[in-house]
Structure 1
Amino acid sequence: MGPMKKHLLNMLVVSALLGSTLAACSNNGNTEPEGGANAENNLSETNTNTEPEKTSFTDISTNIRGNTAPTQEQLDEVNNTLNDTYLGDLYEEVIPSDYSAYPYKEKVTLDVWLPADSNIPDYNNQVVQQQVEKLTGIDVNFITPPVGQEADAFTLMISSGELPDIIMEPERYPGGLEAGLNDGAYIDLTDLMEKNAPNYTAWRNSNEMRRKTTVTDSGKLLGFYGIAPYSEWMWFGMLIKKEALEKTGMEVPQTIEEWHAFLLKCKEVGYAEPLNYGSTYGQIFTGIINGAYGVWDWTFMDENGQVQWGPAQPKAKEYLATMQQWNKEGLLNRDWATADFNQRMASAISDKTAVMMDSPDTMWSYWKQQNNIDFVGALNPILNAGDQPATTYKNFMRTGRSAAITTQAENVEAAMAFLDFAYSKKGWEIINYGEYGKIHLIDENGKPYFHEDSYIYKDPDGQPVATTLVKYRMHSWPAIRDEHNANPLIVAKGSYSGEIRKQWTEGMDTSVAMPPITFTQEEASREAELGNQLSTLRGEYFAKIIKGELSVDAYDKFLSEAKKMGLEEFLKLHQAALDRYNQR
């Protein structure tokens, strides 16, 4: 990029950031694949024809499927080549297998910015990424800011005008991806996808929901999205220690009244703070309890398909009165307004807590695996017997991270090839299941699985599954995520977290759930401004009312202030975006 172009980008992005401050706050392998008796069949040459010649492989499925003790030659064949003939077709739609771009025709190193993970000290030494680099022939230099400093680091990076080749979580840009495109930060990939990302193109187009949720309202393709083979089970809800049910002699509660009686009994039998209600990262606003009153945490769709704001619904005062009472009676953890994750988990495993509002995957690790505490899931509470439990959570086959390519990418084709690999069958295997042998094996039907001695469960460094699931595989990535089969917390021997998630998903009404809408650049700035103001207002009033620092009647002032703040405009912005989404 020339000095003039870079200076122009500087001017544009700085302007965008200044105008959207609130939104901004919202060992590299370089060798070619090798090994295996048929290695010569496993590497394709770059083809200049319009229709690339598909790579052909020798079928090795009879040697790999059902093999629990692979030889070194077989390990090399699977791990060091692109041969995917041993993998079965597990979903309704077949995962693509276009490897015509690999190994890449020239040596290239891509700079990739992404938020850090506290469990991955250095992404450049993450074993899955090293294997991806080896198979694709594309080297990557990961740029990760310190944990907790992602927002500031992103702002500084954008305002500097010095951009990497690829940005993970590009929606952090003030105004979203389209604003980044209009400001000259991101590339429009619409006309490049079919040629340079054949696997991503085929996969997203193989299902209407995947197609619809990965294109802008104007029909542009601006990035690579994590898109699943199915709508993933909901992951967050009410979890009860089995011992609490045994000590109280009560059944799993359903109505708010039954929950109140159960929590009182829990306190009576020794649980000092029976319900772990909230935290600094948002558990208070999940729709789990407030949803029973129709007071959803944020936007939702009413029975007419119109966008509404949960905190402004008629039964809000009733909900707040209930929670104020529960707080006064000591049924909630005392630090619900300030507790971080570690504080919540410390409370969870103590004798104080009977009920958690959290993920059964997380709690299977902390409760069952580490402390032998069994638990059950409960559907979201209902107000009256006979009501249908509901949730605003619905997975629209969009999952994990997204990625965009910047205007400063020196080799756009290579950047797209790197990202596209994750949507091939081989990429799907590696990203979800890690290395063949040490991490996973292949069953008789061609399905990868974590075997008993997998490093996922028996880490040489002694780390728990909650850590090894990102140490030896990729959990959140622009890829085809096989959550139900490849999340080791779900498929571990004895785990029932998946059963709970499935029970929640199948047992609750999701008609109120909003799809992944997008805003125009003009809308995004205003929506972010209003949304931040409304969120702050809601947080302050609701927390003070529940803690008893304000009376329940203070809600009337809250609603009046929300309307003056621009609630009606906020809803119109969301309705316009929903209308456009429905027309995609």
Structure 2
Amino acid sequence: MAKFTKRFFGIFMVSVLVLGTAACSSKNETDEAGQKEEVAKVRKEVTFTDISQNIRGNETPTQEQQEEVNQTLNDTYLGDFFDETIPNDYSAYPYEKDVTLDVWMPAIAEIPDMNNHAVQKQVEELTGIKVNFITPPVGQEADAFTLMISSGELPDIIINPERYPGGLEAGLNDGAYLDLTELMETNAPNYSAWRNSDETRRKTTVTDSGKLLGFYGIAPYSEWTWFGTLIKKEALDKTGLEVPTTINEWHNFLKKSKEVGYTEPLNYGSSYGQIFTGIINGAYGVWDWTFLDENGKVAWGPAQPKAKEYLTTMQQWNKEGLLNRDWATADFNQRMASAISDKTAIMMDSPDTMFSYWKQQNDIDFVGALNPVLNKGDQSATTYKNFKRTGTTAAITTQCEDVEAAMAWLDFNYSKKGWEILNYGEYGTVHLIDKNGKPYFHEDSYIYKDPEGQPVATTLLKYRMHSWPSIRDEHNSNPLIVAKGSYSGDIRKEWTEKMDTSMAMPPITFTQEEASREAELGNQLSTLRGEYFAKIIMGELPVDAYDKFLSDAEKMGLKEFLSIHQAALDRYNQR
């Protein structure tokens, strides 16, 4: 991996910031406590007139009131709703120097130009920091990232910096990313306060060696499970059956669904990996990938004892025509077209997505089902668990010429005002404030009544930031959850509360050496699993071919692969 021509300059800038930003009026002071005391002195004190009585509960704000909320940092009208209070240090704003930051980020298909995004324009005005977003065409993100890295010419900030081969620490070691450990407390007071206010947030945003290499999306809570099995209400009515719980009940329900007219009742998967969701295979303990066994050790799902039972079941279901015929190749649009047709009775997807496609756009009601079990009375389980890490990550590169500005721009996202804007968009046109100081999307919100007629699945990206380095308030600000009549949140909450997640892997990280080998082995094992499992399910190979698969996996280095993950887990547990 190429070293970067401006690495020395980047390191020099870090040194300047450490010394300069934390400098005392008396430059001879070197005592750490004295430095912190002086930093507190030089920070601007920001106070606001309390406007809560004019904003809270106001359903028809005047233009002047909208401007006071949208064009100032005043947050006095916002309440506190979480176990920990969201910080509100605005001492860095407006930023005093004229600066424009280049920010590279993957494209969002629904947003043609991030530079015109309403939320980002508002953040720019409030912080005084201009931003130029660099986004590659949709579908070309991986190639664009590789080309950018190999060129040695980096932007100031990179969104999704984990794309770097070997991850964030590899990027640090190669001279691409800055180590922000010594800068965070001084230059990112909101992020520092928020991540340190909860042990889970602290633990999942620091490396094994104690370094802070980026700004992570971190939530006020562990978000609900987002993916599972959804059944059309009409399918339950037509079959006269209850929501199935065991594999045998599912088999019976699928056969009955086909008898009453659903020609391909289970929309099983697609080319983007949903044939291995842990929904059906999890009943057999054959989890998609790595998981924690009963002793808390790392194990590999495809290598578990009941894998042949799972494959036998799926081969039979496929032979009986219970799955969508294009499950191995269908893309998202093909799956959604099938979902709203009379062919499909059951989807494996997000209830938020299906509330949009099924209920809002096609008036199709549906219910959620827990992941199936083998025996009646067993507890349903999933390997999905949210560790208060959510959204996306941002890293600052060594070629950033104003690191203080970059950190200030990112830090705003973790302030109370930033929480409001990024989650709820503009006050007035997109959200209002209730009598308790909580933002909400009103009936005439652009979220629900877009002037251009876009559906909520698009407006939730258009008028707010759905996935970002910020404090994401998913349960309260996802329009598909809080929309009038929505029950997707109820389904997700039930999944979360009623399914065992003890086998879920936490967000471990690898060393640079481990990352390279783990990626190599992981890619080989994933390809092997995909080919064997798909061919066995389609009947192109007998179930006994699994023995050859397992032998090949072991020869490929499965034991080494697991040892790498176990070492990373051991380090995570010691953070």
Give the TM-score, by structure 1 length.
Answer: 0.92
Contact 2:4-2:175 at 8 Å conserved across structures: no
Question: Aligned pair 1:196/2:187, yes or no?
Answer: yes
Corresponding residue for residue 249 of structure 1: 240
Aligned residue for 1:112, secondary structure, equals strand
Identity of aligned residues (%): 82
Corresponding residue for residue 546 of structure 2: 555
Q: Where in structure 2 are the equivalents of 1:55-70 lying within 5 Å?
A: 55-70=46-61
CA RMSD of aligned residues (A): 1.2
Contact 2:4-2:152 at 8 Å conserved across structures: no
Write the deviation string for residues 445-478 of structure 1: whole angstroms up to 9, x where unpaired: 0000000000000000000000000000000000
Q: Where in structure 2 are the equivalents of 1:406-555 lying within 5 Å?
A: 406-555=397-546
Query: Partner letter of residue 316 of structure 2?
Result: Q
Q: Where in structure 2 are the equivalents of 1:18-37 lying within 5 Å?
A: none
Write the deviation string for residues 243-284 of structure 1: whole angstroms up to 9, x where unpaired: 000000000000000000000000000000000001011110
**Structure 1 residues 571 and 5: alpha-carbon distance in aligned structure 2, compared to 1, 3 A threshold:** closer
Residue 48 of structure 1 deviates from its aligned partner by: 6.4
Aligned residue for 1:6, secondary structure, equals coil
Question: Aligned pair 1:378/2:357, yes or no?
Answer: no
Pick one of 170, 178, 181 that aligns with 1:187: 178
Corresponding residue for residue 149 of structure 2: 158
Question: Aligned pair 1:302/2:293, yes or no?
Answer: yes
Contact 2:87-2:415 at 8 Å conserved across structures: yes
Q: Structure 2 unaligned runs (5+)?
A: 9-37
Counterpart-to-counterpart distance in 2, 1:218 and 1:505:
32
Pick one of 215, 234, 241 that aligns with 2:225: 234
**Structure 1 residues 361 and 101: alpha-carbon distance in aligned structure 2, compared to 1, 3 A threshold:** same
Q: Where in structure 2 are the equivalents of 1:338-357 lying within 5 Å?
A: 338-357=329-348
Corresponding residue for residue 308 of structure 2: 317
Q: Structure 1 unaligned runs (5+)?
A: 10-46
Corresponding residue for residue 30 of structure 2: none
Query: Partner letter of residue 175 of structure 1?
Result: G
Query: Partner letter of residue 510 of structure 1?
Result: T
Pick one of 253, 258, 261 that aligns with 2:249: 258
Query: Partner letter of residue 187 of structure 1?
Result: L
Corresponding residue for residue 17 of structure 1: none
Pick one of 278, 299, 309 that aligns with 2:269: 278
Give the TM-score, by structure 2 length.
Answer: 0.94
Aligned residue for 1:226, secondary structure, equals strand
Pick one of 307, 319, 323 that aligns with 1:328: 319
Counterpart-to-counterpart distance in 1, 2:519 and 2:273:
18
**Structure 1 residues 224 and 4: alpha-carbon distance in aligned structure 2, compared to 1, 3 A threshold:** closer
Residue 54 of structure 1 deviates from its aligned partner by: 3.0
Question: Aligned pair 1:389/2:353, yes or no?
Answer: no
Pick one of 391, 397, 410 that aligns with 1:400: 391
Pick one of 97, 100, 112 that aligns with 2:88: 97
Query: Partner letter of residue 431 of structure 2?
Result: H
**Structure 1 residues 49 and 212: alpha-carbon distance in aligned structure 2, compared to 1, 3 A threshold:** closer
Counterpart-to-counterpart distance in 1, 2:359 and 2:377:
32
Counterpart-to-counterpart distance in 2, 1:5 and 1:162:
8
**Structure 1 residues 410 and 256: alpha-carbon distance in aligned structure 2, compared to 1, 3 A threshold:** same
Corresponding residue for residue 24 of structure 2: none
Aligned residue for 2:242, secondary structure, equals coil
Question: Aligned pair 1:149/2:149, yes or no?
Answer: no
Aligned residue for 1:102, secondary structure, equals coil
**Structure 1 residues 275 and 5: alpha-carbon distance in aligned structure 2, compared to 1, 3 A threshold:** closer
Counterpart-to-counterpart distance in 1, 2:123 and 2:512:
35
Corresponding residue for residue 18 of structure 2: none
Question: Aligned pair 1:293/2:284, yes or no?
Answer: yes
Corresponding residue for residue 6 of structure 1: 5
Corresponding residue for residue 12 of structure 1: none
Aligned residue for 1:575, secondary structure, equals helix
Residue 303 of structure 1 deviates from its aligned partner by: 1.0
